[in-house]
Amino acid sequence: MSNQKLLDFVQGITRLLDTNPNEEIILTHGQKLLAELVASDDWLPDQFAQPHPQYYQQYLLYADPLDRLSIVSFVWGPGQKTPVHDHLTWGLVGGLRGRERETTYEKQADGSYLATGTGVLQPGETTAVSPAIGDVHEVANDLADQPSISIHVYGRNIGRVDRHVFDPLSGAAKSFVSGYASTVVPNLWS
């Protein structure tokens, strides 16, 4: 399996960031680049596409040495989902396999979080998150009988960021650092 498509994406998104764009440009142009990557499902190495029987998996595909971005494959087994959580940075998500359901949340005056919308991400589609446009959500595999995989791009090394999960009813926040399920990254030059 060639990693040329992933390498092309890494080079393209890095060139974009090298221009010091504002977040709107990153989200707009970054989504176009990500859409090109997830337009076909023939490039993700199998070891970064394996579900776990109990927990969704977060596999690091690339981390910029200056912490400007990270690229991650999220693998969801049937019925798996995240808690309600934030990112504290911009993020792009592209559907690669299966189908994911996102529920967005907004903080209310009493501190609780109210679900404000849902959407379904299909293969080849992209979406974005950020503190500026909406950063708190829950994501779930929308299929009961097969894994779903999405490719995420974040404005920091997301596996090292101290973020939060929230109890939607009380608004109580709990800090967490997600880390990664893998200990290696793909060789982009193989």
Can you give the pTM of this predicted structure?
0.95
DSSP 83: P
**28-72, pLDDT tens digit by residue?**
999 999 999 999 999 999 999 999 999 999 999 999 999 999 999
> Does 189 map to a domain?
no
> Does 187 map to a domain?
no
What are the CA-CA distances from residue 48 to residues 60, 110, 135, 163, 186 (Å)?
A: 8, 41, 25, 23, 9
Spatial contact of 113 and 168, defined as CB atoms under 8 Å apart: yes
Residues for the chain: how many in total?
Answer: 190
Q: Centre a 10 Å sphere on the Cβ of residue 160 and count the other Cβ atoms it contains.
A: 13
Q: Report whether pLDDT(181) > 70.
A: yes
> Does 185 map to a domain?
no
Overall number of domains in the chain: 1
> Does 181 map to a domain?
no
State the Cα–Cα distance between residues 61 and 153, nearest whole angstrom: 10
Quote the pLDDT of residue 190. Answer: 74
State the Cα–Cα distance between residues 148 and 133, nearest whole angstrom: 25
> Does 186 map to a domain?
no
> Does 190 map to a domain?
no
Provide the CATH number for the domain around residue 85. 2.60.120.10
**101-160, pLDDT tens digit by residue?**
999 999 999 999 999 999 999 999 999 999 999 999 999 999 999 999 999 999 999 999
Picking from 35, 128, 33, the residue whose alpha carbon sits closest to that of residue 90 is 128
Q: Report whether pLDDT(170) > 80.
A: yes
Picking from 52, 146, 148, 54, the residue whose alpha carbon sits closest to that of residue 100 is 148
State the Cα–Cα distance between residues 50 and 80, nearest whole angstrom: 13
Query: For residue 142, what are the domain limits?
Result: 4-176
> Does 90 map to a domain?
yes
> Does 183 map to a domain?
no
